[in-house]
Structure 1
Amino acid sequence: MNKKRFGVVATLATVTTLALTSCAANEGGSATPDGGDAGNESTLSGTLVGIGASSQGSAQEVWRASFQTANPDVTVEYSPDGSGAGREAFIAGGADFAGSDRALNEEELSGTFGKCVEGTSALDLPVYISPIAVIFNVEGVDSLNLDAATLAGIFAGTITSWDAPEIAALNPDATLPSAPITAVHRSDDSGTTENFAEYLYAAAPDVWTEEPDGEWPSAFGGEAAAQTSGVVDAVTNGTNIIGYADASRAGELGVAAIKVGEEFVEYSPEAAAAIVDASPRVEGRADNDIAFELDRTSTESGVYPIVLVSYLLACEDYQDDSVAELAKAYLGYVASAEGQAEAAEAAGIAPLSEDLSEQVASAIESIQ
């Protein structure tokens, strides 16, 4: 089966389970969009400014709409300019919070943040878990199997034709065209790119020799497109073309199944959540700074390895108490069972597990 979008039944089942089991995760935080107890009239007001990952774009639209409806005197802005732009804006003080498809690194954490109290740091809050889909539009091909080495060769430019023996061996029943491959990558500094590259570097290091980064390696060619929408548009409107994008944006495009162990795994919310739960947190960080080292080489059955964990970045201590109040309420809603359920239905994310939801809720509650 060529799964072109998340299964609605599976997603709703996950949402229902989460809604029933995650109540504890929201104690002390906001489980409803009004930023307080259910049924209470909102007293929040002001504007909260966010910039960042375009992967979160669809989910942020839903989160903002629900939160602003419940809080009519609040405006939440989110500009999906990309992970790099979000981190830069948050560090410089141009945004109250940021969306990033990777956690802040040690160098960034050791610096200052424009909206935060001097001497304090920032928090990484994982709120958006999604597979990265390998999307394709190839003449006569409805389904496609790829392993790490072949995928790395395609994007590194060493496999250049769709009927190359490496691709043919993985797809014996497909009629592959004798046509050049056009591989599309992000032109902007992108967390999606960095997560995609992390998988290739971990799973096919002999082929993908460049260390992962948010910017595409200059040593590799391909066609560049700006942001998630640009990559999706290029693949949609091209021929014999392949790219990568947050799975929520795959639409009707073909999506490759990725070899894990001895099976080819199609993306799903459950497969994405499974690899996060099986992965360790980054060591040496504050308890409320939650960042993961994803196990990209897992061979466990049903695990999809090309996953991004997208974070919201916030101050642990804001200079402006009114901003802190808004940030705490909005982020609390985003991470709540209700917020995660809305994003799962609208954008196909994998809702936070009960354990991770409790960790994130505790971190948000610590914001001052």
Structure 2
Amino acid sequence: MFSKKLAAPLALVAASVIAFSGCAANEAAAPATSGGAASGLNGRLTGKGASSMSVAQTTWIAAFQTANPGVTINYSPDGSGAGREAFASGAVQYAGSDRALKDEEMGAGKFAVCAPDSNALNLPVYVSPIAIIYKVDGVTDLKLDADTTAKIFAGKITTWNDPAIAALNPGANLPSATITAVHRSDDSGTTENFTDYLAQAAPSVWNQKSAGIWPDAFPGEAAKGTAGVVGAVQSGNNTIGYADESQAGSLGKAQIKVGNEFFGPTAEAAAKLVDNATKVSGRSANDWALKLDRTAQGQYPIALVSYALVCEHYADSSVANLVKSYVGYIASDAGQKAAQAKAGNAPLSADMQAKLKTSIDSIK
């Protein structure tokens, strides 16, 4: 767990939070509904969940606590599943999850920290591109499309000079070496989002549903966690894998074909995935569980969207005020830019920020 992990560069971030807070306080009657911090806040928040958000959460917490010295926030990056379970049981006041709660997980009375008549809200606050990473001697600019990617990870394309890869990379010096495809061995939101891309964009090849656990039907080398996949690709030869772009280091990152264009895993291209998404049907107006369209044009299609899970109505109004202010900061322009500087995530668009502010303001 961590709470006050503040480095010198965050002084500038903290200053922006304080400035943001002052503006918001002048514009709204109650700071908790302003989407910013308030210097008079006091109390403690505990969160748990997605490790993908760990660097962002460290950054957000440090900046928020600097602006609000009476507040202590702890976040344990124990994984999305652990976060969802802890939120439901009332062990934490908010959670981070690499997917929204499913319909069967939603419902009034299912969340101990919430008021008895309250449902949860799913708020997408962290977007991170997933890079297809590779290490192939002599190849520095790899291009792939959905079908070719799916065939590689399904074990149907086994050598780097396969005609399908060669057609996408004219002039490239592709070796005849065997491909080693690396996937996650653990239950992973990164895997769930990567396989969702394959299922949507290459359904004729990838005949499995999206899942956090790699399907037994497809071979490959397994490695635990993001660090494990990156390490396996880095230490091997003629390897390929998938990982959060911010963790890819010096490895090559494939460009992905969408329509007639190729896109790399940039923050700007990944953010468009959220803008092109639609809301999951049957949810309340303030719930932003999203159905991602991995085939829409003009975007990088392989990205992870992590949610803040909060209550519509908290059993304790003081907790509601803290959650509104902290999550409001996370979803604000200042919070998104602060995280990007440290975690390399894709900041939410101004339109999505405004929609989330309305939802966060509704928390009671």
Instruction: Verify same fold: TM over 0.5.
Output: yes
Letter in 2 for 1:175: N
Structure 2 CA distance, aligned partners of 1:98 and 1:238?
36
CA offsets 1:128-154 (integer angstroms, 9 cap, x no match)? 122211111222221211110111111
Show the counterpart of 2:323: 327
SS at match of 1:340: helix
Please point out which of 73, 92, 100 is paired with 1:103: 100
Structure 1 75/230 Cα, relative in aligned 2: closer, same or farther at 3 Å? farther
Show the counterpart of 2:6: none
Structure 1 66/155 Cα, relative in aligned 2: closer, same or farther at 3 Å? same
Q: CA deviation at 1:234?
A: 2.5
Asked if 1:160 is matched to 2:158, the reply is yes
Query: Which protein, 1 or 2, shows the higher relative CO under an 8 Å CA cutoff with sep ≥ 6?
Result: 1
Structure 1 CA distance, aligned partners of 2:100 and 2:353?
17
Show the counterpart of 1:309: 305
Q: Please, which runs of 5 or more residues in structure 1 have no aligned partner?
A: 1-18
CA offsets 1:313-354 (integer angstroms, 9 cap, x no match)? 112222333332322221111111110111122222222222
CA offsets 1:175-232 (integer angstroms, 9 cap, x no match)? 2222222222222222221111111111111110001112211212222223323322
Asked whether the equivalents of residues 278 and 291 of structure 2 are also in contact (C-alpha less than 8 Å), the reply is yes
Letter in 2 for 1:85: A
Show the counterpart of 1:4: none
Structure 1 42/308 Cα, relative in aligned 2: closer, same or farther at 3 Å? same
Please point out which of 258, 270, 273 is paired with 2:271: 273
SS at match of 1:123: strand
Please point out which of 189, 210, 214 is paired with 1:191: 189
Structure 2 CA distance, aligned partners of 1:251 and 1:151?
21
Please point out which of 72, 76, 79 is paired with 1:82: 79
Structure 2 CA distance, aligned partners of 1:234 and 1:78?
29
TM-score where L is the length of structure 2: 0.86
Structure 2 CA distance, aligned partners of 1:225 and 1:136?
15
Identical counterparts, % of pairs: 57
Asked whether the equivalents of residues 23 and 337 of structure 1 are also in contact (C-alpha less than 8 Å), the reply is no
Asked whether the equivalents of residues 31 and 337 of structure 1 are also in contact (C-alpha less than 8 Å), the reply is no
SS at match of 1:131: strand
Show the counterpart of 1:338: 334
Q: CA deviation at 1:31?
A: 4.6
Letter in 2 for 1:81: D
Q: Considering only aligned residues, what root-mean-square deviation do their CA atoms show, in Å? A: 2.3
Structure 2 CA distance, aligned partners of 1:93 and 1:227?
27
TM-score where L is the length of structure 1: 0.85
SS at match of 1:245: strand
Asked whether the equivalents of residues 84 and 191 of structure 1 are also in contact (C-alpha less than 8 Å), the reply is no
Show the counterpart of 1:171: 169
Show the counterpart of 2:11: none
Deviates more, 1:146-155 or 1:232-241: 232-241
Structure 2 CA distance, aligned partners of 1:170 and 1:262?
12
Letter in 1 for 2:315: Q
Show the counterpart of 2:65: 68
Kindly report which structure 2 residues correspond to 1:154-303, keeping only aligned pairs within 5 A, or say none: 154-298=152-296, 300=297, 302-303=298-299
Show the counterpart of 1:144: 142
Show the counterpart of 1:11: none
SS at match of 1:314: strand
Asked whether the equivalents of residues 83 and 189 of structure 1 are also in contact (C-alpha less than 8 Å), the reply is no
Asked whether the equivalents of residues 183 and 222 of structure 1 are also in contact (C-alpha less than 8 Å), the reply is yes
CA offsets 1:56-76 (integer angstroms, 9 cap, x no match)? 122112111111222223222
Show the counterpart of 2:363: 367
CA offsets 1:18-56 (integer angstroms, 9 cap, x no match)? x9xx989x9563454xx22xxxx333122x222222221
Asked whether the equivalents of residues 54 and 227 of structure 1 are also in contact (C-alpha less than 8 Å), the reply is no
Asked whether the equivalents of residues 35 and 357 of structure 2 are also in contact (C-alpha less than 8 Å), the reply is no
Structure 1 CA distance, aligned partners of 2:163 and 2:274?
33
Show the counterpart of 1:12: none
CA offsets 1:270-310 (integer angstroms, 9 cap, x no match)? 21122321222212110111022122112x2x321112221
Q: Please, which runs of 5 or more residues in structure 2 have no aligned partner?
A: 1-19
How many residue pairs align between the two structures?
A: 339
Structure 1 45/220 Cα, relative in aligned 2: closer, same or farther at 3 Å? same
